[in-house]
Structure formats: C-alpha cells, structure tokens
Structure 1
Amino acid sequence: MNITETTAFETFYRTYRAYGLSIAYRMLGTYTDAEDIVQDVFAELAAKDPAVIQNMKSYIAKAVTNRCLNLLRSAKKTREEYIGEWLPEPIAASTDLPELAAEQKDTLSYAYLLMLERLGPMERAVFLLREVFEYDYAQIADMTGKTEANCRKIFSRAKQQFKGSEPPASPVDDEQRKAAVERFADAFLHYDPKMLLGLLAEDAMLISDGGGVARTAIRPIFSRDRIMRLLVSQKAYRDMRIWDTRITELNGETAIVFTSGHEVKAAFCFRFTESGDRLQHLYMIKNPHKLLHLRV
C-alpha cells in the first residue's frame, strides 16, 4: 500500500467499522466474535483495490453477513452442547455502535436479540438485512446467494415467527423504568420479598447464563413466587451481594451490573410488561467470557 491507498483504507475503516459491527453483533449475539469478523473483513479489504468496489457499504454488509453465516453454521453444535441457557453478550452504552443513540435502538435491545435467536442463520441474515438495514430484495439476494423470490419467502417466514412476541411499546418513560430497576436492585440486595413481589409480573421468567463456569440455574425459572424465593435466598446469590452494584445502560436499556474491582462479574437485563410497570423477563448473565468486553 502506498500513502494514498493507506489513507483511503483508514478512511473506509473509520467510516464503516461501526456499521459492520452493527450487522455482526445482531447476527451473532456475541460482541467479541463480531469484532473478530469485522477485523477479518477489513484485513481482506486492505489487500484489495478500493477502486474496483462500486458500493463500499454494501460490500461491507455482504462480507460481514457471509462470515457470520459461516460462523453460525459451524457453531451450531457448540450451541447445542452449551451448558444451561445461552444468552447474548450484553453491550455497554459506550460501545461503538451508533444505533444506540438512533431510531434503530430498539433492535439492539436484549429482548430483541433473544427473539433473533429463534431464527436459523439464513433467516436471521435476510430478516436483519431487510427489517433493520433496509436493503431491497435484489441486494439481499446478491449478498446471500439466494433468489429474490426465496428471500421474500424467508423474510415472510421469519416475520411470522416474531408475531405477537415483539418487545411491547410501553407508556412508561425511561426514567420510570430506571426507577423500577433501582427498586429491584434494592430489593435484591436487602432480601425484600414484598418489594420483589410488587415488581415482578405474575408470569415472570428468570433466565440465567453461567455457561457451565459460573453457578446459575440450568433451566428458566417461571412465576414470580419461585423467582422471588430464589432471589431472596441467602445462599443462591451470596457472591453477587458482596460485589459492587451499579445501575447502568446495557443494549440501550437500564440494567444492573455487579463488579469486583475493575471486573464485571454479573449483569441483569430486563424486559418489562406492556404496561411498563413490572418486570416480565429477567436475564442474568454470569458467564465470565460474555462479560470480558464490557466497559461500564
């Protein structure tokens, strides 16, 4: 590379790195893998003549999507053998993903990422490229190697799977949600069953991810009574109560992180009820490999 080519490459990297990460993170649900994918794409791009690439943004989208598809297919067995429930890696508000402050923020929510987990790799790719990144079917066909007609069918099938399960739009504003999460943290830290019962929906669900490394419930816990009894147990989460607790933003939403020194040890993400005043789903991430990248 000469000086001119190096300058052009650096410009492309600064311009499109975050865009590539936005696609890869939603595709994979793991920020560390998303970073690796994007680095690989730009490493390959460094050996190319940028002049032969007609649309750099579409080139990045296609390259990232195909690498993600390959990774998801190869990781299928690993996911199936995963110990306990698999949850996405949460990302902090400081993460270099521009949509955290834009209108696509909802598509980075933790509940949205979990909905995407229902889809197979190709369904996920087509759905995201169409629904979130607004490519037309001809472009998606070129990126995925499918026909336009097939892409339409795949998108329709993926959309059908989401029917009725989208994170609800809530009449409660962010400040009220933050206050509810703060009350939850206080109730959890102080073994307060009465406050917990008032915060949890009747059919609440708690999903934990320890990855076989950290001690967590292997299967989801259903009903607010069972969740409350578990959360106020002096044995179950004794370690979390001695760590520092911080209310912060993960995936653009109010969450709780537990830290020891500079290390994030656990995180709680939430999905609220449609009314916005109760916690419907609680997601607890304790797998240390999914918390390494967090900057809070």
Structure 2
Amino acid sequence: MKLDLQNIPRRRNLSKEEFQEDYFKPGKPVVIEDLSKDWPALQKWNFNYFREKAGEVIVPLYNGEPAKGRQNSHGPAMKIPFKEYIEILEKGPTDLRMFFFNLLQNCPELLNDFQYPDLGVKFFKKLPVMFIGGEGSKVVMHYDMDLANNFHFNFVGKKRLILYPPDQTGLLYKVPYSIVSMEIINMDDPDLESFPALAKAKGYEAVLEHGDALFIPSKWWHFIKYETASLSLTLRSLPRSPGKIAEVLNNLLFVRNYDNLMRKLQGQKWIDYKNRRAKERTDKNADID
C-alpha cells in the first residue's frame, strides 16, 4: 500500500492564455520549466551570491521539531547571520529552514534579478519571499493561511513536493484550528497502517531542479522534502473572491490566535486533543474502523 500520486504536468513555452485556461482558472498545478529563463537570478543565485549580498542580515531559522506544550506554534529555533546559516548548509544535512525571507525588506537590490511573469495574474508585489532548507529537511503537509496562489521558483538544489487539492482535505488528517496535517506523519514515507486514509487520497508530486517553477493553486495542500540544500523564490497572488477573503480573515484573526491562546492555557493537553480529533475525524471520513 502506497500513496496514490500522479506526476504534475511539465510545460515549456506556455502562453498566458494557455496558463489561464488550463491551470489558473481550473486551479490545477503545473511545472513551467522555462518561466525564469530570462532572469539574471537563473545564473546568479547561489549560496555564494547570497553570502555576498545578504551575509550580515540576521535571519530566523526553524527546525523540524513540532511545538510542544505552551510553545507558540510559529516561533523560530534561532536567529543568526545569513552567512552563518549558509555555512551550516554547506557542511551537510540539517533540518534548519529559513522561510518567508522578504527580499523587499531585507535585500531590495535583488529585486533586479527577476521579473513578475506575464501570466494574466495580479501579483502581491510587497511579498517576494525566499525559502531555503538544508538537505533532508521537511515541511509538514499544509496549505497557506492566506490562501495565495503560489509561483515557486527553484534556483539551487533539488526538492520533492507532494500536493493535494482542497477536495482531499477530509483524508489528510487535518488538525483542528490549524492549516496543517498531523506533524507526526512523515509524508516522504508515511505509515499507512497507522494513517490508512492517506492511501485513499489522490494527489500529485514533482521534483524541482534548477530553473523549474511550480504553480501551486490556492488552498492546495503541499509537503516539501529538501533532497539537497535548496534555495527558492515564491511570488504570490492573493485571493480576490469575497468568500476566500472572508476565510483568510478568519484564519488570521480567529484561528491562529485562538490556537495560540489554547496552547498557553492548556499546553500539551490541547495539542494532544487536536491530534486525537484529527485521527478520529479522518478515519471516520474514510470509513475506517
């Protein structure tokens, strides 16, 4: 028994009209292999370049340990200069990751290294963000709280992504009051005897290498495994429909704050309760006794 995954389509020379009709409007993922072919970043962006351009910037790093007890669910493991983090990456496997590094705030000159692609999409240009991870690091299965459409460009290394559409949520062991699956599940090699509903979920996968761009539609679940130390850029397009805007506001103003409040009040008892409910609900959805 294994995960039911199909390969995400890979395209080149994709026109704006084709992207809109085949992928954006129906909400389907696609890997576009040549979307960044004219960007300076395609040739320039490597760890040495960022050591030179942003080495002194203090960056927050996150590890693979789930928050426990009364810990805030969004807290970093440490903060160090970017150049020191690069040294850690170059030494070998590490679970330390850097995410949502805002180029506009931290290193605006790097904005000259890329362009927003002409795909008929309105991008949120205040938030061009970088994601970096060490070899072997993983990002728990989740969807983005702001429900953005993401365009994820990989420049250094190789990473594997598993995606599920929103209609598979009931089979993914979603934790109540959160946007994540149960953190105990290793989607790279899941225990399908303990979490059998995953075998019924229908998903997609892709391996991104240098120059690949992955379109992740709004509210799609994604798990990431850094096969090697990797550096990526994500450009975001925020939702515009009233229903999704209302959901985003609920996520940001209620769900996240309520969850952190309950963590402070009940600690590990709250976390254990949420995981128990996730298991019970999902197995019930999948008709598993």
Output the TM-score relative to the length of structure 1. Answer: 0.24
Larger CA Rg, structure 1 vs 2: 1
Structure with higher helix content: 1
